[in-house]
Structure formats: structure tokens, C-alpha cells
Amino acid sequence: MGFYSNYPDSALRFGDVVQGFVFATVKLYEPFPADTDGTHFLDDSGYSVDISLPRFSVVMSPSCSIGERMVSLAPLLKVKHKFFENEYYAENLTNINRIMQPQQALPRHAWENKLTPKEREEKMSQGNVYALVELFVYERHDLFPPYTLKENKKAEITTNYYMIDFRSIQYINCSSVASAENSPLKSKVLQLSDDTRRELWDKLINYYTRESQAAPSSVK
């Protein structure tokens, strides 16, 4: 299957790659205390707001929920150097998006040398799993600028894979977003294929509904 659609719709769809949207992230040390009547008073020294304009972001709202100036987005981020240390991931980083065998979620040396036989047996008994449960990798595309990953004395890696992190999803208020069809479609640059959109949906559902547990991961 192809990762992207060759025939994109004239509408915003879940998983679309878009550009031109601004993100704002509030940083604070702790929530503001309430007065005795429950009123909160903002102290502008107690928080800051980071504004960013990522090159690309991804639509995280279902099409039927886009409208009334509201759409949820996640910025496209650079992948991590450590992903390439896992042989299964390195074959194709979009393998991260799918359920895999427990031993595929770790580099081979970690599976063989850092886990005890009992730990390996326990992981195998859990069956196939999602790894890096909060991440979804976007396939390379000519529209995506390449970048170089560096980590200590390890070999540099140049790639144009990108990813989204479900933890970074933000609600955006945009006056020109009236519906999926009546939106600033000039901002849309790529649409996922139906199969890839289903993979994104399935992993997002897993992210929100999974039981609390440590997910297999080669990245800390």
C-alpha cells in the first residue's frame, strides 16, 4: 500500500499534513492556587507562553469534528537517532506505527543481552504489542526537508522521516475553519491513504485506551 494518497480530497481529513498553523505552549511550574472563594488570580511571573510555527503539522480531528473555527493539530517533529539502533525500525521507520512482536521493539543486542530469560519469556507471553505508543512516523516525502541527526560519537544520519507525538496535540482556533470542506485547503500539502489513516486511528485509540504499563521502547 502507499503511505500517501495519490488523489487527495478537497477537504481536511484526519492525518492530513498541513502548513501555516501557529502553536502556543504554556509553561508553568505548578497550577495557580485558588482563593477561598475558588477564584484564581494569574501572576504573569508564574508562567510563560512559547509560540512556534512548525514547517508542517498534522490534522488530528476527525473530518466530522472539524468546524466552528476548531481543529486539533500536532506538529511534525524530527525522529530520534536511537530509532535507527533498532534493526527492525531501521528497515523502515514506519514499522513503529504497527503492532509488532515483542523482540522487534528492542534492538537485538538489548533483547539478547540486557533481558534475562525470564524477562524475555514474560514479554513473549504478552503477545504482539505497539511500541513507542505515543508516536506515529510519517513516511519520507520529497516535500519534507532532510535533516541530520547527531548523537555523541555515533555516525550521523541524514533522513527526512518525520513523526507526530500524541502528547503534543493542540486545539487551534482558526476563523477560516468552517467545516472539513470549507477550510483553508491551500494549507493542505499531503493526505494519507485510507490504509495509513486507519493505522494512525488504531494507534491513537490504543494510546488513549491502553492499560497503564511500561511500553517496550528503545528510547528513554
Residue 25: which residues within 8 A CB-CB, separation 6 or more?
49, 50, 52, 170
What's the whole-model pTM score? Answer: 0.91
Confirm whether 12 is domain-assigned.
no
| pLDDT for position 41 | 75
- Domain membership of residue 219 (yes or no) is no
Establish if 160 belongs to a structural domain: yes
**Is residue 6 one of the residues assigned to a domain?**
no
Asked whether residue 24 is domain-assigned, the answer is yes
Mean pLDDT for 183-208 is: 97
**Burial classification of residue 33, based on how many CB atoms lie within 10 Å of its CB (0-12 exposed, 13-18 middle, 19 or more buried):** exposed
Domains in the chain, number: 1
Query: Containing domain of residue 148, as a range?
Result: 17-208
59-115 residue pLDDT tens: 999 999 999 999 999 999 999 999 999 999 999 999 999 999 999 999 999 999 999
Confidence of residue 212 (pLDDT cuts 50, 70, 90): low
∠ at Cα 141 (135, 144), nearest 5°?
A: 80
Over residues 35-39, mean pLDDT:
75
* pLDDT of 214 over the 50 cut: no
Q: Is residue 47 part of a domain?
A: yes
Alpha-carbon dihedral sign for residues 217, 218, 219, 220: positive
Residue 2 lies in a domain: no
Least confident of 3-7, 114-118, 138-142, 166-170: 114-118
Instruction: Give the pLDDT of residue 37.
Output: 77
Inside any domain, residue 215: no
